[in-house]
Each structure stands twice: as structure tokens, then as C-alpha cells.
Amino acid sequence: MTKLLMFNSLDDEVDVIKNWQASHPDIVIDTNKETLTPETVDLVKGYDGLLIQQDNLIDDPKVYQKLHSFGIKQISLRTTGYETIDLKEAAANDLTITNVPAYSPRSVSELVLAHTMWLLRHLNVAAQRESHNDFTWDNLQAHEIHELTVGIIGAGKIGSEVARVFKALGANIIASDPIHRPELNSVLTYVDQQTVFEQADIVTMHTPLLSSTYHMVDEAAFKAMKPSAIFINASRGAVADTPALLAALKNKDIAAAGIDTIENEANIFSKDFSHKDQPNSWLNELLSLDNATVSPHIGFYTDIAVKNMVEISLEDALRIIAGKHGQHEIGLPEK
């Protein structure tokens, strides 16, 4: 009987597991609320594989060495991003890493649309006024989406779905991506990154976090945008330089921002700070602005996405444990 351990499980994921196990009675899956760290890695002893979902970097070699000593062959991420993993240490300890590259592109695209429409229709301003019984119309006149150009940085699985959603509403779509997909030619026009920054009325980020994308949107990028531009980030917090974003919002270099992810969000998003101070000063500053909306990294968080994240990561884990290749393996550096 195969035994798996799932770290940092959500209650919704546990429900998915129960349904999945009904047709896989030979698989034991235990769950906990812990993140994988040097202090918790011993919990894996006695299991055949593990699944994780966490924001904090696993950078201590002892974690990978202990997993190897326990006979573990893989780490299955229930996420798209894999920047939490030290790929060199994983390779050195014969650990195969898998992710879920497309749990539900639609889920993220719908949240991007929600942030965009909330800001485009000035609902953030209206809501603030209404909290003081002010129902005036001053400065609430809005543009219609079909008048505007949506610029996408990263037109992969999620970015292309964002393009389709806005295209269906009549917007003009431009996108910057190193890979040009012919099947998207009827949906968008490929341009360079600078053109997106300069021409788009809505700039939305859909890139992984790599050394090449770290702070891709910096002070110069924000200054290149239209003063009327709306900036959306539902990818990774560090693709945008947060102090530069805050300055752009305060100085009106851009009109507004919808943020689902921010730098240093680990151990904040998904946690309750209603009775204590949260430690991210940038987040506090962003929340104080009337031209920004913030959601706690929930772009992925729909019923379909959660189901796919759990089931795809489970299937990959079981394939690797059985000596096969996982369908979503991350390329590792040579030892």
C-alpha cells in the first residue's frame, strides 16, 4: 500500500482527497497544516512520497538530504510556480520535482477581469464614498472595455486565457512573449514588452518568476505607461518592483493597480492578522491607497482549480513512485 503525505493542506483539498480516495482505496494520504522545513521534514519518514504547497523557500540542503535518506523519489508541488525549490539540491539528492502548470487558467483570468472591471468602473471609489453615505457621481464616468487595449506580458496558458476573456468583451489585445503561438493570431497581436507598457490601457502580468523576470516592471516601466493605465499583477509579486509600484500609484504615473500577489507575501496571505499587526509594510501601504485593490493571492482559488491541483499532483507522485516519468516534471540541472 502506497502512503503519501500532503503538507500545508487546505480544508477544500481534504474534501477533494476524500472523493479521490473512494476510487483509489489502495492509496493512503495523510495531511497536515505544516510547511516543509528542516524542523518538519522528519514527518515524511515512513511515507513513499509527498505533496507540498508553500511560499517559503526550501533552501536548507538538510531537507533534501533527509528526503533522500527516507527513500523519497519526488516532491509534487500543488502549484504552478516552483521557485520555492532549490533545483540543484533536488537533483543532487535524486528528487524529481513536478508542478501543476495549468490547474485552471480560467480561474486566474476571471480574477484579473474582476480587478480590472472594479477599477475601470471606479467601484473602489464608489464603495469608499458610500461608506460615508456619499452617493455622488463626481469622477465616476468610465471607459467601456471595448474602447481599450489590453496588454499582456506572458501569453502562455494563463495569459492566453486572459486574452480570450478580454477579446470576448471587444478589447484590442496586444501581448509580449518569447514564444509566438500561431493559434493566438486571431486573438492578439504580438509586440515587444516596451510597446505593451507604452500602448496598453490595461497591463496585466502573467510570467513566472525567474532571474530574467525579477522586477521586470520597474520605475522606468511604470513611467512608460499611460497615466490612465491600470496595472494588474496576478502572477508573482516580485515581477514588479513594489516600491516603484507604490510610487507610481502615489504620483499618478498610472491610474490604478489590481494586485493579487506582492513581494514578501509568504506567511501573510492565507493567514489571519485581524488581531495583530502583519509585518509587510509594503502591503500596509498598498491597502491604504484609494487607487489600488488587493486580493490575497486567490487567483487560483476556485473549485475546479483546487481539484485539478490535488489530482494532478497525486497522479504525478504515484507515477514517479512506480518508476515512471511524471507528466509535469521540472527540468533539473545536472549533478
Are the C-beta atoms of 260 and 234 separated by less than 8 Å? yes
Query: Pick the catalytic residue: 78, 115, 206, 297?
Result: 297
Pairing of strands 49-52, 74-77: parallel
- 129 catalytic? Reply is no
How far, CA to CA in Å, does 258 sit from each of 24, 81, 191, 245? 41, 20, 23, 11
- 68 catalytic? Reply is no
- 265 catalytic? Reply is yes
Are the C-beta atoms of 238 and 215 separated by less than 8 Å? yes
Centre a 10 Å sphere on the Cβ of residue 61 and count the other Cβ atoms it contains: 14
**How many angstroms separate the CA atoms of 139 and 91, rounded?**
56
Query: Pick the catalytic residue: 122, 265, 319, 328?
Result: 265
CA-nearest of 223, 219, 102, 120 to 166 is 120
Rg (Cα) of the chain, in Å, rounded? 21
**How many angstroms separate the CA atoms of 242 and 245, rounded?**
5
Residue 46 half-sphere exposure, CB side, CA atoms within 13 Å? 5
CA-nearest of 86, 17, 77, 37 to 53 is 77
Helices (H) and strands (E) in the chain, counts: 11, 12
Query: Pick the catalytic residue: 78, 206, 236, 319?
Result: 236
* List of E strands, the chain: 2-6, 27-31, 49-52, 74-77, 96-98, 149-153, 172-176, 189-190, 202-205, 230-233, 256-259, 292-294
> Helix, strand, or coil here: 137?
coil
Residues taking part in catalysis:
236, 265, 297
